[in-house]
């Protein structure tokens, strides 16, 4: 791993960069924003594989995570925190593209995994840089769109007990594969009916989890920022507004928006993908957002199958 830092209003955000792929001056660049608990190192396999795919892959550490400044706790207003975090990310992107002479003819793909989607949508609601070709919301869970998790969601119960041991166990559970037997025939039903047909608790025994042992043993977890991250989800009106703003930008041709999800991911994320799909269909905006389902993939396809992940992101 090669650690770098780039300037932002908060100081310096850490990032890992695969570097430019060999033998070409025109390549595609993916800049990834991680989710909750898992650090930017969760994308290391994509970083390692990217050069041979003709891709430059960058994974950035959000505030409060290893190598980057702590999240400012002086304000309890989630809306102000989103504004600050959005400014941080935009400044990082501008600095990185300029300082590293990133070719912009192919554009930059801004990849937002899981809870990272909330941060990316918050940033783009402020400004969408012209060099951003597409925004990929990768396996986004319901709460990043301002929607509540059902009471029977295991993630909802985990948020009620944020002890380190419970969070480590929950992180490992997130990496499992889940069989959703009614997945293919769920269209047309109400959201609550479809949610009831998802598997919210028990992993499928047919597939080994991405992390059979605790991911913390690989140095991929950072739990110190969990409560501050979770507190941002209270700003449901801001989250909804940012999502609607992003779809409108896509409809206006400002940026391409793609949602990528796994058919065997945790129910929180399958339901999140459905929310996007339903919302754009109800408003006749189907062409604004491209929905990509990865058959048999879980929440960590970037770890289990980085080649498939990179192809989907591009």
Residue 293, pLDDT score: 96
What 148-157 contacts at long range (C-beta under 8 Å, 24+ apart), as own/partner pairs, is 148/236, 149/268, 150/195, 150/200, 152/200, 152/201, 153/200, 153/267, 153/268, 154/200, 154/201, 154/266, 155/266, 155/268
Residue 1, pLDDT score: 46
Residue 6, pLDDT score: 58
Q: Which residue has the higher pLDDT, 2 or 121?
A: 121
**What does CATH list as the number for 3-150+219-313?**
3.40.50.1820
Is there a contact between 245 and 124 (Cβ–Cβ < 8 Å)?
yes
Please state, in angstroms and as integers, the Cα–Cα distance from residue 134 to each residue in 216, 230, 266, following that order.
32, 26, 25
How far apart are the C-alpha atoms of 210 and 212, rounded to whole Å?
Answer: 6
Beta bridge partners, 55, equal 28
Q: Is the pLDDT of residue 9 over 90?
A: no
- How do residues 239-271 score in pLDDT, each as one tens digit? 999 999 999 999 999 999 999 999 999 999 999
Residue 24, pLDDT score: 85
Confidence of residue 133 (pLDDT cuts 50, 70, 90): very high
> What pTM did the predictor assign?
0.94
Q: Which residue has the higher pLDDT, 163 or 193?
A: 163
Output the average pLDDT for the chain: 90
Residue 181, pLDDT score: 79
Residue 75, pLDDT score: 67
Sign of CA dihedral 284, 287, 290, 293: positive
Q: Which residue has the higher pLDDT, 23 or 151?
A: 23
What are the boundaries of each domain within the chain?
3-150+219-313
């Amino acid at each position: 791993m090669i650690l770098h830092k780039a300037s932002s209003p908060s100081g310096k955000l850490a990032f890992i960069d695969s570097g430019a792929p060999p033998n070409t001056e025109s390549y595609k660049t993916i800049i990834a924003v991680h989710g909750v608990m898992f650090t930017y190192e969760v994308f290391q396999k994509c970083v390692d594989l990217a050069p041979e795919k003709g891709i430059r892959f960058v994974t950035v550490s959000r505030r409060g995570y290893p190598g980057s400044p702590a999240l400012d706790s002086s304000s309890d207003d989630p809306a102000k925190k989103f504004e600050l975090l959005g400014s941080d990310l935009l400044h990082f992107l501008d600095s990185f593209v300029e300082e590293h002479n990133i070719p912009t003819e192919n554009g930059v793909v801004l990849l937002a995994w899981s809870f990272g989607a909330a941060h990316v949508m918050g940033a783009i609601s402020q400004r969408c840089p012209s060099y951003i070709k597409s925004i990929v919301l990768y396996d986004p869970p319901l709460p990043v769109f301002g929607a509540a998790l059902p009471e029977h969601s295991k993630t909802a119960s985990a948020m009620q007990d944020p002890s380190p041991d419970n969070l480590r166990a929950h992180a490992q559970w997130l990496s499992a594969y889940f069989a959703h037997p009614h997945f293919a025939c769920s269209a047309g039903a109400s959201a609550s009916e479809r949610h009831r047909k998802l598997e919210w608790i028990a992993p499928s025994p047919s597939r080994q989890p991405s992390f059979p042992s605790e991911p913390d043993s690989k140095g991929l977890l950072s739990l110190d920022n969990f409560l501050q991250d979770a507190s941002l989800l209270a700003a449901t009106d801001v989250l909804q507004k940012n999502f609607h703003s992003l779809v409108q930008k896509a409809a206006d041709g400002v940026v391409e928006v793609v949602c990528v999800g796994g058919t065997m991911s945790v129910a929180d994320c399958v339901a999140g993908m459905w929310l996007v799909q339903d919302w754009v269909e109800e408003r006749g905006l189907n062409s604004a957002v491209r929905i990509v389902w990865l058959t048999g993939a879980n929440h960590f396809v970037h770890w289990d199958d980085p080649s498939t992940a990179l192809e989907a992101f591009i």
